[in-house]
Structure 1
Amino acid sequence: MIADVVIAALALDPGRIAHCAALLSAEETARADRFLREADRTRFIASHAALRVVVGRECGLPPERLRFATESTGRPVLAEPAGTDLDINLSHSGDIALIGLVRGARIGVDVEIRRPLPDALRIARSHFAPDETAALEALPPSWREAAFFGLWTRKEAVVKALGAGLSQPLAGFSVTVPPEPARMLRITGGTAQWTLATLDPGPGACATVAVTAAGVAIRRQSRSATWADKFDAK
Structure 2
Amino acid sequence: MPDAKPQFMFSPPDELAVGPLRCAWGPHHHGTPAETLVRPWLAGALGLPAEVLPLRRDAHGRPRLDPPAANVDVSWSHSGERLLVALGRDVQVGADLELLRPRPRALALAERFFARAETEALAALPAAAQEAAFVRLWCAKEAVLKAHGRGLAFGLHRLEFALRDDAWVLVACDPELGRPSDWTLHAFMPMPGYLASLAWRPQPILL
Identify which of 38, 50, 58 aligns with 2:45. Answer: 58
Alignment of 1:1-234 (within 5 A): 2-10=20-28, 40-42=30-32, 44=33, 47-79=34-66, 81-82=67-68, 84-177=70-163, 180-189=166-175, 190-192=177-179, 193-213=182-202
**With CA pairs under 8 Å and 6+ residues apart, which has the higher RCO, 1 or 2?**
1
8 Å CA contact retained: 1:175, 1:184? yes
User: Displaced runs of 4+ in structure 1, greater than 6 A?
Assistant: none
| Structure ranking higher in strand proportion | 2
TM-score by length of 1: 0.71
Please report how far the alpha carbon of residue 166 of structure 1 lies from its aligned counterpart in structure 2 after TM superposition.
4.4
The residue type paired with residue 95 of structure 2 is V
Q: Which string of whole-angstrom CA distances, capped at 9 and with x for unpartnered residues, describes residues 62-108 of structure 1? A: 223314211221111123x5452000001011121111111111000
**How many residues in Structure 1 have an aligned counterpart in Structure 2?**
181
CA distance in 2: counterparts of 1:83 and 1:143, whole angstroms: 42
Coordinate RMSD, CA, aligned: 1.9
CA distance in 1: counterparts of 2:164 and 2:142, whole angstroms: 15
Gaps of 5+ in 2: 1-18, 203-207
Q: Which string of whole-angstrom CA distances, capped at 9 and with x for unpartnered residues, describes residues 125-175 of structure 1? A: 000111111111111000111111111111110110110234422111112
Gaps of 5+ in 1: 11-38, 214-234
- The sequence identity of aligned pairs, in percent, is 34
| Structure ranking higher in helix proportion | 1
